[in-house]
């Protein structure tokens, strides 16, 4: 019987050296990279210290990124970041991530070639699954698990079963990978991939650029998934060769691998999708949604805060010559400082600012209701991020609609939920 | 080990953003977190929960963010155990790792009502509802996970595995 990507990568990292593992096996594995952020690192460091080994297992492979409340929004968050940066200095960690130079972990780590195809990555953040776009096994864990991995270089895992998703047909205008993943989550629901791996395949996936691939695997956790994969190909190779910091080995699923289910999507019938409050699986085609007035539009996050996402917004503004609606707060926040610099060089900071947006340095910020655009009761927000749970971006009665960057930009211009074709 | 407590009943897909909203993630103190536990979905919980009470959820309890603050806030509130139809993966690990008992039993979860008294035998993995007199068997833990639970969490478990003197 052939093997899935999850089975192959886990087998290659098995500390027992067993040649094969299968879905359902409980194994201890060596990890390539351990990551945490300003919210999860403080508890991970506490657990690490309580374990008492003194030094991290490998100072090249532990990465602590201040992203959520960065730049520090208040004294308490400043103290959390200080815990993280002091620890990085004390342990002489090779890779440091400073405000002004870094950004959101899931944008920064791939961008710098620090996570690579075939890697096994554990991160103290549920969206660690993003790195699956590179063909890495990457999964989110809590802080104590991360403290354990920092101390030992190992973690325990149950080898997941795998669901296969096949996308085919010609993509329609204004449809992006965000719509593909939203539609998928809408179909299988928020626990449809619980404890499972999701392999995304087919010509519709092969045609995606790396940025769009990250958007897709980013939201695996919104279906309850443990990890997601996009098969390694020339697009991955080109992206990785330009930045890899060490050698890597890509893995490939066998043709006769065992999948618990196969789901097919015809892109020629897919229009832009929107996830309505209060769940990422409350997904509807945009044509079926009431064009509600919006108070805020957020373009950014680890889902859609990359250069290509910003390019979509810039293109819409340039082509239409329009400005954002005067009654809408538009927050445009790049996923990393590298993206910020690219925006600056393209002239987009000026373009976005003249159109009426608040453009800021990289941060998670409003995505988790941290700062830089927290919502009041009853406010409506269109967001390119990944979660619209109750209270996620502010008050429990605020309502968040998740969409792709083009729909977000169109809504920001129209002052209500809008299809880009309406411009 | 036997637990007994009153039920706080919630539905499906209780996410970690409602268990503890991100605006409170600027501390790791269990008591401070407990004061805001569940407040976006049940404002009575934090002020009325009694030590030993039991949370009963539906499917996919604890979905969303990896924040360990979620089980920490529940444990800090004095909750003795969580029973659900199913748990989100990261939440399940986090609860085990910090020594918060957590049991999967779809029938027990569905039958329990707010205010019921449940008796839980963690060793046998049984749940008894005192109102109905019915007893349920929860899904067993894998032996390795049982090892972590018996050690009192992942940190003491690791210290023992690595041969680090626990008294030291
Ligand atoms: S941008 Fe949002 S989803 Fe992504 S890591 Fe930050 S808080 Fe989490």
Cβ–Cβ gap A391/B94 under 8 Å = no
**A141 SS3 class:** coil
Structure tokens of A257? 């691998």
Could you say which residues from 17 to 36 on chain A have a Cβ atom under 8 Å away from some Cβ of chain B? 26
Contacts with A226 (C-beta within 8 Å, 6 or more apart), sequence order: A6, A129, A139, A160, A193, A195, A196, A197, A220, B89
Between the CA of A10 and the centroid of ligand 1 the distance, in Å, is 26
Distances (CA, A) of A403 to A312, A369, A381, A420: 13, 17, 10, 12
- Is A57 an interface residue toward B (CB < 8 Å)? no
Q: For residues A340 and A173, what is the distance between their CA atoms, to the nearest angstrom? A: 27
* Structure confidence at residue B141 (pLDDT): 85
Q: Which residues of B touch A37 (CB under 8 A)?
A: none
Q: Which atom of ligand 1 is nearest to the CA of A303?
A: 4
Which one is predicted more confidently, B5 or A19?
B5
Q: Considering CB atoms only, which of B40, B66, B159 is closest to A52?
A: B159
Interface test with A, best of B66, B85, B96, B140 (most A CBs within 10 A): B66
Distances (CA, A) of B116 to A196, B80, B112, B126, B133: 34, 15, 7, 16, 11
**B138 SS3 class:** coil
Q: What angle do CA A278, A280, A283 make, to 5 degrees?
A: 95
- Omega cis (within 30) before A350: no
Could you say which residues from 93 to 152 on chain B have a Cβ atom under 8 Å away from some Cβ of chain A? 93-94, 97-98, 142, 144
Q: Considering CB atoms only, which of A39, A145, A389 is closest to B154?
A: A145
Q: For residues A205 and A182, what is the distance between their CA atoms, to the nearest angstrom? A: 14
Q: Tens place of pLDDT for every residue, chain A, 423 residues?
A: 899 999 999 999 999 887 799 999 989 999 999 999 999 999 999 999 999 999 999 999 999 999 999 999 999 999 999 999 999 999 999 999 999 999 999 999 999 999 999 999 999 999 999 999 999 999 999 999 999 999 999 999 999 999 999 999 999 999 999 999 999 999 999 999 999 999 999 999 999 999 999 999 999 999 999 999 999 999 999 999 999 999 999 999 999 999 999 999 999 999 999 999 999 999 999 999 999 999 999 999 999 999 999 999 999 999 999 999 999 999 999 999 999 999 999 999 999 999 999 999 999 999 999 999 999 999 999 999 999 999 999 999 999 999 999 999 999 999 999 999 999
Residue of A70, A302, A333 to test ligand 1 pocket, by largest number of atoms within 8 Å of CB: A302
Which residue has the least CA distance to atom 6 on ligand 1? A364
Structure tokens of A348? 């987009």
Helix or strand (DSSP H, E) at A339: helix A337-346
Between the CA of A22 and the centroid of ligand 1 the distance, in Å, is 32
Task: Name the β-bridge partners of A399.
Answer: A380
Residue of A37, A39, A68, A333 to test ligand 1 pocket, by largest number of atoms within 8 Å of CB: A68
Q: Are strands A154-158 and A137-140 parallel, antiparallel or unpaired?
A: unpaired
| A47: nearest CA partner in chain B | B155
Q: What is the pLDDT of residues B6-43, one digit of tens each?
A: 999 999 999 999 999 999 999 999 999 999 999 999 99
Q: Whose structure tokens read 């445009």?
A: A332
- Omega cis (within 30) before A244: no
């Amino acid at each position: 019987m052939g093997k899935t990507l999850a089975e192959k990568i886990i087998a290659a990292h098995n500390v027992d050296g067993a040649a094969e593992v299968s879905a359902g096996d409980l194994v201890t594995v060596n990890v390539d990279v351990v990551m945490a952020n300003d919210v999860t690192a403080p508890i991970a460091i506490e657990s690490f210290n309580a374990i008492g080994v003194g030094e991290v297992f490998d100072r090249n492979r532990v990465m602590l990124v201040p992203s959520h409340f960065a730049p520090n929004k208040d004294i308490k968050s400043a103290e959390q970041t200080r815990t993280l940066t002091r620890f990085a200095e004390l342990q002489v960690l090779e890779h440091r991530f400073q405000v002004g130079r870094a950004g959101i972990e899931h944008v920064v780590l791939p961008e710098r070639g620090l996570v690579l195809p075939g890697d096994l990555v554990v991160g103290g953040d549920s969206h660690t699954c993003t790195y699956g776009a590179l063909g890495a096994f990457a999964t989110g864990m809590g802080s104590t698990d991360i403290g354990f991995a920092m101390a030992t270089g190992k973690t325990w895992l149950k080898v997941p079963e795998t669901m296969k998703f096949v996308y085919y047909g010609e993509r329609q205008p204004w449809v992006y990978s965000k719509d593909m993943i939203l539609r998928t989550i809408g179909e299988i629901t928020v626990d449809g991939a619980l404890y499972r791996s999701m392999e995304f395949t087919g010509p519709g996936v092969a045609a995606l650029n790396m940025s769009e691939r990250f958007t897709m695997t980013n939201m695996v956790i919104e279906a309850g998934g443990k990890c997601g994969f996009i098969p390694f190909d020339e697009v991955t190779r080109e992206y990785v060769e330009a930045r890899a910091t060490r050698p890597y080995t890509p893995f490939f699923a066998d043709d006769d691998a065992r999948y618990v289910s196969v789901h097919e999507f015809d892109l020629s019938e897919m229009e832009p999708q929107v996830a309505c409050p209060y769940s990422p699986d409350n997904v509807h085609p945009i044509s079926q949604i009431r064009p509600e007035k919006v108070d805020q539009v957020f373009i950014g996050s680890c889902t859609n805060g990359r250069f290509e996402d910003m390019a979509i917004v810039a293109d819409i503004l340039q082509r239409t010559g329009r400005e954002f609606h005067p009654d809408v707060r538009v927050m445009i926040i790049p996923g990393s400082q590298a993206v910020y610099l690219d925006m600056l060089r393209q002239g987009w900071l000026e373009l976005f600012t003249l159109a009426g947006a608040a453009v800021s340095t990289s941060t998670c910020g409003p995505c988790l209701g941290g700062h830089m655009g927290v919502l009041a009761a009853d406010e409506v927000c269109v967001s390119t991020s990944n979660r619209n749970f109750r209270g996620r971006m502010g008050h429990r009665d605020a309502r968040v609609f998740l969409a792709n960057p083009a729909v977000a930009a169109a809504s920001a211009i129209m002052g209500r939920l809008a299809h880009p074709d309406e411009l | 080990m036997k637990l007994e407590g009153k039920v706080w009943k919630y539905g499906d897909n209780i996410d970690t953003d409602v268990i503890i909203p991100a605006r409170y993630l600027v501390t790791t103190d269990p008591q401070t977190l407990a004061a805001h536990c569940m407040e976006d979905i049940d404002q009575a919980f934090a002020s009325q929960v009694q030590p030993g009470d039991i949370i009963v959820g539906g499917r996919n309890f604890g979905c969303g963010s990896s924040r360990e603050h979620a089980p920490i806030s529940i444990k800090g509130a004095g909750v003795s155990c969580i029973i659900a139809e199913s748990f989100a993966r990261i939440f399940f690990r986090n609860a085990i790792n910090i020594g918060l008992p957590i049991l999967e039993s779809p029938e027990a979860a569905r039958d329990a009502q707010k205010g019921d008294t449940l008796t839980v035998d963690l060793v046998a993995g049984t749940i008894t509802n005192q109102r109905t007199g019915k007893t349920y068997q929860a899904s067993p833990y894998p032996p390795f996970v049982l090892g972590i639970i018996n050690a009192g969490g992942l940190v003491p478990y690791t210290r023992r595995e690595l041969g680090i003197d626990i008294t030291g």
